[in-house]
C-alpha cells in the first residue's frame, strides 16, 4: 500500500511546487509585462489582462484609448524635467546615491482637468508615503500646462516613467 502511495506523492509534490512558483510570479505587484495585472503603490488595480485601465472609480478605459493624446508643455522631456526639479528641491531629497523609478499614471477628463494620479514602482523604502504625496501635489500644480495632441471626446491618459538618481 505504501509503495502505491509513493508513486503519487512525488508528482503531487512537484505539481504543488510548480503551482506556488507560478502563483508568486503572477503576484508581482508592479508588473504589466505579458498581460499581468498592474497595481498602484496603494495596491489598487490599474491594468488587467484584456480590459485595459481601471480607474479609481471603477471605470474601464480600453487600452487603445490610452494612446499619448496629451503632452506636457509641448516638450518631450518637459514632464520628466518638472518632476526631477520637484524631487531634487523637496525636503525628502538627501544627496544620497539612490536609484529608483516611478511610473506616473495621470487621467484627465475632456476639459483637461486631472481626474486621478496613480503611481507605480518598485517596493522601496525610498518611495515613502510622504514622497508619493509630495509628488502628487507637484503634479496637481500643473493645471494649464497640459496640451491636447489630438482632441477627441472622453478620458485622456498620460503615462510616464521617471528615473531618479
- For helices 129-140 and 78-88, give the axis angle rounded to 10 degrees: 130
* Average pLDDT of span 12-28: 48
pLDDT at 150 over 60: yes
Please give the DSSP secondary-structure letter assigned to residue 55. -
CB within 8 Å of 76: residues ≥ 6 apart: none
* Average pLDDT of span 28-52: 71
Q: Which of 64-68, 82-86, 106-110 is the least confident region?
A: 64-68
Nearest to 37 by CA among 22, 18, 52: 52
Q: Which of 7-16, 81-90, 108-117 is the least confident region?
A: 7-16
Amino acid at each position: 500500500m505504501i509503495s502505491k502511495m509513493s508513486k503519487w506523492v512525488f508528482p503531487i509534490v512537484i505539481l504543488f511546487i510548480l503551482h506556488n512558483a507560478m502563483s508568486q510570479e503572477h503576484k508581482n505587484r508592479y508588473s504589466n509585462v505579458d498581460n499581468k495585472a498592474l497595481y498602484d503603490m496603494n495596491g489598487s488595480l490599474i491594468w488587467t489582462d484584456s480590459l485595459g485601465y481601471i480607474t479609481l472609480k471603477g471605470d474601464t478605459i480600453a487600452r487603445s484609448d490610452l494612446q499619448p493624446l496629451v503632452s506636457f508643455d509641448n516638450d518631450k522631456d518637459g514632464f520628466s524635467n518638472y518632476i526631477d526639479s520637484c524631487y531634487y528641491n523637496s525636503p525628502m531629497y538627501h544627496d544620497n546615491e539612490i536609484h529608483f523609478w516611478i511610473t506616473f499614471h495621470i487621467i484627465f477628463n475632456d476639459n483637461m482637468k486631472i481626474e486621478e494620479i496613480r503611481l507605480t514602482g518598485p517596493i522601496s523604502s525610498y518611495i515613502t508615503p510622504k514622497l508619493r504625496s509630495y509628488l502628487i501635489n507637484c503634479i496637481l500644480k500643473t493645471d494649464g500646462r497640459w496640451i491636447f495632441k489630438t482632441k477627441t471626446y472622453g478620458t485622456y491618459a498620460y503615462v510616464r516613467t521617471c528615473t531618479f538618481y
